[in-house]
A and B are shown apart, each in its own frame.
Chain A
């Protein structure tokens, strides 16, 4: 008997992949037991799902056509659809995403230059990195909660919350891009005897500009998606209207309509951003890389 266990032990000893697979499965089982997950609960889920479906279908698209008299800030357009919850909500979400991306970029770029080890002294890089990762610790929803307490309900809290998160996240992407620039332009600048901020401003940032722009567009995409979540705690955007229908009225058909609108807009924005970003993605064997103005104005030959 003990011989068999010993044999099995030797069998596993030379198979590291199988061994780690077994450990992983054991860990999954232990975790499930610790969380007291009971798969029998699924049986209730199916009946709940039928109730939810029957309430949510068909989606009530009056959220696009009807005027929302209770919108905040007050809507002044003549047309009813322009003041409908869906349109106001999605516009607010886009506006929050836009502002927080711009503000986040303005704040994070200098921080990223300070955090890049090839541009700043090690002690400053360490401190700045700690600040950036501290900003990333909290998800945007928690930031929104904090700012709703600080400045009250509404889109302003949303912009502040998304900006905080954007600085932390974009800053990390940016300092990694800045650290990836080739060494030689920076050495030319150092041999000239330029101060550090000029090396960053005139050599490193232009050299990394493609990556920086593509990251900014990605961050805008990301902020549009997350801008809907922060509305749940009252920080503006389409999530605010979802929450309005959800918690007091339980109008699931309207919430579903809002989710569909949200989905369509996010897909469109993702596609546009992907198209633009593809032009900036660096590739080693691709010799021609466009510059920013060429995306807007076509090059004359």
Chain B
């Protein structure tokens, strides 16, 4: 059930496309890629899930999508309709351990999401404009942390920290959110709240969300499409209701 895409099939000037992999092989050594022949297109407003065993290269795929690694071959394009300048800030990454700045307040962390959109002089003087401050407050309110604005993030619980990371991504006003194990070891209740938050983001602001989850049953409940990494190829699970096939012994 591998995704069948020919190079000519995809019109890159289409402004719905948020992320496009074509014949990309991903990994660290050219001779030994972790994932081969990735063909994947993610459109705006979509939530795409990625599942697979640990150590199989989910995070590496995500980091390649974020532009932190270059593909060994093939191409990876983000927001293909934009010029280089406008691409600044169009990807929001939420890493596995969230990448928050530990000693700083919730407000500071969320404000950092506004950096790509801020004017150069504002960043030099470290004086955020009124609009940016308002956007930060709105995002913190949206994730329900208004009473913790001046709290240091390392005093918050795991779920609250995840909300801070999501609020930072919201302020950034991106076109694509890449979330790595965003739900982590959260309890079902908290995970559900965060899923609702992401879902409303995708629908309201037309953002594409590419999310890695290690729990296939949970991922199936909130994703529009589900991809699975098996061996070293990326497989699209056509029908979400179809039974999830457990990894076989010979997979890797």
Contacts and interface: CB of A to CB of B under 8 A. Distances in A.
B91 A193 contact: yes
A198 B92 contact: no
Nearest to B87: A193
Interface stretch (A33-41, A205-213, A235-243): A205-213
B38 interface: no
A263 interface: no
B108 A191 contact: no
B207 to A, nearest CB: 15
Contacts of A203: 101, 112
Contacts of B154: 287-289
A198 B115 contact: yes
A209 B104 CA distance: 10
Contacts of B87: 193
Interface string B135-174: 0000000000000000010110000000000001000100
A198 B63 CA distance: 21
Interface in B47-89: 63, 66-68, 87-89
B100 to A, nearest CB: 7
B116 interface: yes
Interface in B102-139: 102-104, 108, 112-113, 115-116, 123
B89 A193 contact: yes
Interface residues of B, number: 34
A207 B101 contact: yes
B152 A192 contact: no
A206 B108 contact: yes
Interface stretch (A80-88, A182-190, A216-224): A182-190
Nearest to A199: B115
Tell me which of A188, A193, A198, A210 has the highest count of chain B C-beta atoms within 10 A of its own C-beta.
A188
A57 interface: no
Given A187-B99, A191-B178, A198-B115, A291 B92 contact: no
A255 B100 CA distance: 54
Given A187-B66, A188-B99, A193 B88 contact: yes
B33 interface: no
B95 interface: yes
Contacts of B183: none
Interface string A156-180: 0000000000000000000000000
Contacts of B112: 189, 202-203
A186 to B, nearest CB: 8
Closest 5 CB pairs of A and B: A184-B99, A191-B93, A193-B88, A188-B99, A191-B66
Given A191-B66, A209-B103, 8 more contacts: A185-B99, A188-B168, A190-B68, A193-B91, A194-B115, A207-B102, A287-B154, A289-B102
